[in-house]
Structure 1
Amino acid sequence: MAMQQNSAAGLSGKGSTVDPAEVAKFSKLSDEWWDPKGKMAPLHKINPLRLAYIRDAACRKFERNARSLSCLSGLRILDIGCGAGLLCEPLTRLGAQVIGIDPSATNIAAAKLHADKGHLSIDYRCTTVEQMDHRERFDIVLAMEVIEHVTDVGAFLARCAAMVKPGGMMVVSTLNRNWKSFALAIVGAEYVLRWLPRGTHQWDKFVTPDELAQHLAANKLTITEQAGVVYNPLADRWSISSDMDVNYMVVAEGV
């Protein structure tokens, strides 16, 4: 997720779940989003896994062939907290009509510039989900590594859920809250391995799978798929797992 300090004042008004401190934190990384060896390297490594999870879930839901290069054709996707477009671009290449939103003006600028270089048509908007037109609806709503950075998880997910079309789906990825996630995601990733700048995450903002399910159920969404995401240091590779103790992803659909 990426945000920016200058845009925070204008986008974190009444009713917004945007945290200005989080905006400022991620703004500092905006110039490095597309450097696979820079500070966003962990996101580049996990991105193919996230993309495949979203693609495969969408193809099952909408009865598409996941092997087709245009398997998401005709689907309208909202990527909330899109950063510089690491997911928006490959989803667009698979045929989707993608709207990427982020409260960071610098990150949206970086996203637009990179998309232009690749001759990709992506609707990037410097805004928040709360400020979007409440009449807009999407086949797929993505909140990938976002909810652990907002000020009010329940309010944020309620707004996200309201953007899902009848018959649509939502995909959420986040971090569990337990001793293991503190040891690996905070101490390990930020202090030992230095994958992320110190302070990137706040452990008390992590969300357990049960809490997430309750918030989604309150908005008439039921989790239909879930999976853990684990890192193998020997292979230097992320993979899908049944272990949801630290990183995990879920697919939710209307009740």
Structure 2
Amino acid sequence: MLLIQSFKVLNLSASKLCRQSIRCLSQHSTNRTDPSHSNVDQQEVDRLSQLAAEWWDPAGRIKPLHSMNALRVPLIRDGLIATGFVPKEQIKSPQVLKDLNILEVGCGGGILTESLARIRANVVGIDPGEKLIQVAQNHAQTIDPNVAGRIRYLVETIEEHSPKNVGIYDAVVASEVLEHVNDKVSFIEHCVMALKPGGSIFITTLNKTNASWLAGIVAAEYVLELVPKNTHDWEKFISPLELKRILSTFNCTTILEHGMFYEFWRNQWSWCSRTDVNYALQAVKQVEV
């Protein structure tokens, strides 16, 4: 709370200094001389890859991601409708996202990827975990071929993918990924790079608060054992305020912010007004003039 209040009283010159600092950090991130640099924590990748065998078990340790689709899919669908990317004749049809191109960054085993393809989006799912991409590809072979035909999986990071695919996606999705990222400025910059002007970036992640430490780590990992221990590092969490500040630096305007609440006793997610643990954002890439 003190941090939020302190930001509210910053004057204009301080805000400009903050934006300049982020741009400098971004330039430093993208101008590294090592072309093999990627924003990947291999320990994080290995930890998630250990869950590959049970990724598609809706009653297993990944079940919160399965049930989260009840919020994530409408968030993306309705967000693209609201920003005018969906023709009127498609809005109430099962083909609502027909012909729209979506990039899912950190797709894991493809839980959200497949759901977006089922409402006719063309989805590219990227992830640095080879085991997880293999799980996603194997599962895609078991579903409707028409749905599978709208999905493409790649073992890539966003830093590798976006320079080859500048401005081609109607939406970029990073769901439950940002809390595992080291260099968030570089990550956001490359997500925006792949986005069309007017397109939307959708993010779900964890706030950096005492409540998120208690709920997201202590309770979820050690008390209730909803996810494996050491899945999260509180130091990598990020507040909505900081995330919106980074997005604005890369010419993106946040148009939606929701809190998310997980009822673990029945494995169900709901929207809420509080953003102190889980939250979702939609930001739109502005057309440069």
The Cα of 1:237 is off from its aligned counterpart by: 2.1
Number of equivalences:
244
TM-score relative to the length of structure 2? 0.81
Task: Please identify, of 82-91 and 38-47, the stretch whose mean Cα deviation from structure 2 is larger.
Answer: 38-47
CA contact under 8 A between 1:55 and 1:66: conserved in structure 2?
Answer: no
Give the alignment partner of residue 138 of structure 2, picking from 102, 110, 113. Answer: 113
Worse overlay, 244-253 or 40-49 = 40-49
Within-5 A mapping of 1:81-160: 81-118=106-143, 119=145, 120-121=148-149, 122-132=151-161, 134-136=163-165, 137-160=168-191
Is 2:283 the counterpart of 1:252? yes
| Equivalent residue for 1:46, pick from 68, 72, 80 | 68
Partner of 2:30: none
Structure 1 Cα separation of the partners of residues 72 and 164 of structure 2: 28
Whether 1:67 and 2:92 are equivalent positions in the alignment is yes
42-51 vs 165-174, which deviates more?
A: 42-51
CA distance in 1: counterparts of 2:156 and 2:225, whole angstroms: 30
Query: In the alignment, is the contact (CA less than 8 A) between 2:39 and 2:183 conserved in 1?
Result: yes
- Aligned partner letter, 1:111: A
1:5 aligned residue: none
- Partner SS for 1:170: strand
Cα deviation digits, residues 124-145 of structure 1 (max 9, x gap): 0011111115241200000111
AA partner of residue 117 (structure 2): T
| C-alpha separation in 2, matches of 1:124 and 1:133 | 15
Deviation of the 1:148 alpha carbon: 0.9
Q: Structure 2: how far apart are the matches of 1:95 and 1:232?
A: 30
Partner of 1:232: 263
**In the TM superposition, what is the alpha-carbon distance from 1:90 to its structure 2 partner?**
1.2
Q: Give the Cα separation in 2 of the matches to 1:28 and 1:217.
A: 36
Residue number among 68, 71, 79 corresponding to 1:57 in the alignment:
79
Distance in 1 (alpha carbons) for counterparts of 2:269 and 2:244? 24
Q: Can you give the 5+ residue segments of structure 2 that lack an aligned partner in the other structure?
A: 1-33
Q: What secondary structure does 1:117 align onto?
A: coil
Structure 1 gap ranges (5+): 1-11
Letter in 2 for 1:241: C
| Pairwise CA RMSD | 1.6
**Offset of residue 53 of structure 1:** 1.2
CA shift in 2, pair 1:146/1:234, >3 Å: closer
1:192-211 residue pairs with structure 2 within 5 A?
192-211=223-242
Pick closer, same or farther for the CA change 1:13–1:23 going to 2, 3 Å: farther
Where has structure 1 moved over 6 Å in runs of 4 or more? none
Q: Which residue of 1 is the match for residue 22 of structure 2?
A: none
Q: Which has the higher helix share?
A: 2
Larger radius of gyration: 2
CA contact (8 A) 1:56 1:66 kept: no
Where does 1:179-198 land on structure 2 (aligned, <5 Å)? 179-198=210-229
The code of the aligned residue for 2:159 comes to E
Which residue identity lines up with residue 46 of structure 2 in the other structure?
A
What residue is the counterpart of 1:212 in the other structure? 243
- 2:200 aligned residue (169, 177, 192): 169
Letter in 2 for 1:248: Y
Q: How far apart are the structure 2 equivalents of 1:199 and 1:157? A: 24
In structure 2, the CA distance between the partners of 1:233 and 1:103, relative to structure 1 (3 Å rule), is: closer
